[in-house]
Amino acid sequence: MPDISRRRALTAAAALAATATAATLAAPAASAAGHEHPMPMPRHPENFDEVYKGRRIQGRPMSGGGHHAEHGGGVEVLVDGVELHVMRNADGTWISVVSHYDPVATPRAAARAAVDELQGAPLLPLPAN
């Protein structure tokens, strides 16, 4: 197998970057052309308090703003009484510190995804900065 030259590697990387950029720029244009987004942004996420797979998950409006209010869309999510840090993405989806790369439609779904990922392990509180 022949060795790849530096020039060839850089050319391939540039082509890949250009393709990714073109795809990223084309997505908003397709959305603006009348295609609906699959997850509409709810104005106020629902309150919830339930037991999911043996774990108590809760969600409610965040009281007093707090350190993470700007990221969590004003929502406090708890798993067994421990705060699960959640963040609302620009497209209206939600992620958590536990399932950061798997966006979901609601804070309740983020709490359930965290319980699934934890597989029975306790959620440890994050230290405040």
Q: What is the pLDDT of residue 20?
A: 67
Hey, what are 52's tokens? 């999911």
> Is the predicted pLDDT of residue 6 greater than 80, yes or no?
no
**Whole-number Å distance between alpha carbons of 107 and 98:** 13
Select the more confidently predicted residue: 24 or 85: 85
Quote the pTM value.
0.62
> Is the predicted pLDDT of residue 66 greater than 70, yes or no?
no
What are 110-126's pLDDT values in tens digits? Answer: 999 999 999 999 999 88
CA angle 102, 63, 91 (to 5 degrees): 30
Placement of tokens 């929502």 in the chain = 75
Model confidence at 129, pLDDT cuts 50, 70, 90, reads: low
Question: Do the strands 48-52 and 82-84 form a parallel or antiparallel pair, or are they unpaired?
Answer: unpaired
What are 88-107's pLDDT values in tens digits? Answer: 999 999 999 998 899 999 99
Q: What is the pLDDT of residue 5?
A: 79
What are 7-60's pLDDT values in tens digits? Answer: 777 777 777 676 766 666 665 555 555 555 455 545 566 899 999 999 999 999
Is there a contact between 93 and 102 (Cβ–Cβ < 8 Å)?
Answer: no
Hey, what are 113's tokens? 């995804």
**Whole-number Å distance between alpha carbons of 74 and 72:** 5
